[in-house]
Amino acid sequence: MSTQVDASPAAESRSSWLSGPAGRTVGLVVALVLLAVVGVITGGERFASLDNVMTILRLASVTGVLAIGMTFVITAGGIDLSVGSVLGLATVWASTLATQTMAEDLHWTVMVLTGLAVGTAAGLINGLIIAYGKVVAFIATLAMMIAARGLAEMISGRQTQVVQVDGFLDFVRADFIGVPVLVWMFVVVAVAGWFLFNRTTFGRRTVAVGGNAEASRLAGIKVQRHLLYVYGLSGLTAGIAGVMMLGRTTAGTSTNGLYYELEVIAAVVVGGTLLIGGRGTIVGTVIGVLIFAMLTNVFTINNLSISAQNVAKGVIIVVAVLIQQRFAARSTST
């Protein structure tokens, strides 16, 4: 970004380098490295193996994909509490007997497309209600969170739907150059998300709308339509994450993705995206997701309870946000 010919502002951007976006990313990387050091010290070989690295990445991939969509939503000044439920609904809908039969008859990608379509549709409904119905995002997506979970229960009859379409399982559970396809999917979504966020008009609109919706509207940006798309995008990532989940667990159940929205929002905020909108970072989100995944892994390796894990995650969220506020205060005072 800073490769352009910038004669005058170079000096000023250098002086505030550490408080700028690059500085925040460095801070996150340092946190990640520290966590890895703790992992190596406490877990030794069990932590520092290629297998374990893949475990961490696999763990990060589903929430990671959700977090990319969430980064857009939060940057645009909104919130999407429904992603976990929509993920669950997508797994259920993509693994019903009817869908699986159709997939057997036609092609296994029918399941994938079903998952993506369900997710996107739910996201667009959120977007319609928020952008055109003027319902606060928190409430609209809270309603979707409850309703989508309920719908998933109705469709599945609270039964676990085992995936038996071999083509699908072969694809999703495969490795490519020694790395699981799930992880590749995360990488593709993250890279695409980075370009969309930083290099396209869609990304610029997202930041502008989140930074000042009224000014954006008066500058001629179609704010409502853009919000519709942003929530649609979040739904799409929930659909993608659902498909990934279906591959990982080989089963669609209505409890898939329970409480994921909380971890996802936490990862996005820890990554440096402002909860009030107007500033977001895809790189930060990816690192935030990795921090949470690595933390879970370190605790598991050391046989510590989920409860202790949750306490640690809570502390991390608060500390990260406190540090962020310091940075924010410093960068606005210069």
In sequence order, what DSSP letters do the residues of 231-250 get, joined into one string? Answer: HHHHHHHHHHHHHHHHHHHS
Q: Which of 197, 186, 174 is nearest to 61 (CA)?
A: 186
Q: How far is the CB of 217 from another protein (least distance, A)?
A: 6
Q: Whose Cβ is closer to another protein: residue 39's or residue 77's? A: 77
Q: Whose Cβ is closer to another protein: residue 45's or residue 214's? A: 214
- Binding status of residue 23 toward another protein by CB under 8 A: no
The one-letter amino acid code at 197 reads F
Q: Which of 28, 54, 38, 21 is nearest to 182 (CA)?
A: 54
Q: Whose Cβ is closer to another protein: residue 48's or residue 215's? A: 215
- Binding status of residue 164 toward another protein by CB under 8 A: no
Q: CB neighbours (10 Å) of residue 30?
A: 10
Instruction: Determine which residue in the list 279, 300, 309, 321 makes contact with another protein, applying CB under 8 A.
Output: 279
- Binding status of residue 275 toward another protein by CB under 8 A: no
Q: How far is the CB of 334 from another protein (least distance, A)?
A: 8
- Binding status of residue 310 toward another protein by CB under 8 A: no
- Binding status of residue 21 toward another protein by CB under 8 A: no
Instruction: Determine which residue in the list 25, 52, 212, 302 makes contact with another protein, applying CB under 8 A.
Output: 212
Q: If binding means CB under 8 A, how many residues of this protein chain bind another protein?
A: 30
Q: How far is the CB of 231 from another protein (least distance, A)?
A: 19
Tokens describing residue 140: 């609209």
Q: How far is the CB of 194 from another protein (least distance, A)?
A: 13
- Binding status of residue 41 toward another protein by CB under 8 A: no
Cβ 269 vs Cβ 317: under 8 Å: yes
Q: Whose Cβ is closer to another protein: residue 6's or residue 170's? A: 6
The H or E element containing residue 167 is helix 166-172
Q: How far is the CB of 23 from another protein (least distance, A)?
A: 16
Beta bridge partners of 162: 251
Helix axes 50-75, 282-301, angle to 10 degrees: 140
- Binding status of residue 134 toward another protein by CB under 8 A: no
Q: How far is the CB of 30 from another protein (least distance, A)?
A: 25
Tell me the C-alpha distance between 242 and 169, whole Å.
14
Q: Which of 214, 238, 211 is nearest to 224 (CA)?
A: 214
Q: Whose Cβ is closer to another protein: residue 46's or residue 222's? A: 222
- Binding status of residue 18 toward another protein by CB under 8 A: no
Instruction: Determine which residue in the list 12, 166, 170, 175 makes contact with another protein, applying CB under 8 A.
Output: 12
Strands 161-162 and 251-252: antiparallel
Tell me the C-alpha distance between 287 and 307, whole Å.
23
For the chain, the first-to-last Cα distance in angstroms comes to 21
Q: Whose Cβ is closer to another protein: residue 63's or residue 281's? A: 281
Query: 32: exposed, middle or buried (C-beta count within 10 Å: 0-12, 13-18, 19+)?
Result: middle
Site string for another protein, 170-209 (x = CB under 8 A): -----------------------------xxxxxxx-xx-
Cβ 193 vs Cβ 68: under 8 Å: yes
- Binding status of residue 109 toward another protein by CB under 8 A: no
Query: 211: exposed, middle or buried (C-beta count within 10 Å: 0-12, 13-18, 19+)?
Result: middle
Tokens describing residue 221: 């940006």
Q: Whose Cβ is closer to another protein: residue 6's or residue 166's? A: 6
Residue numbers at the binding site for another protein (CB under 8 A): 1, 4, 6, 8-9, 12-13, 199-205, 207-208, 211-212, 214-222, 278-279, 332
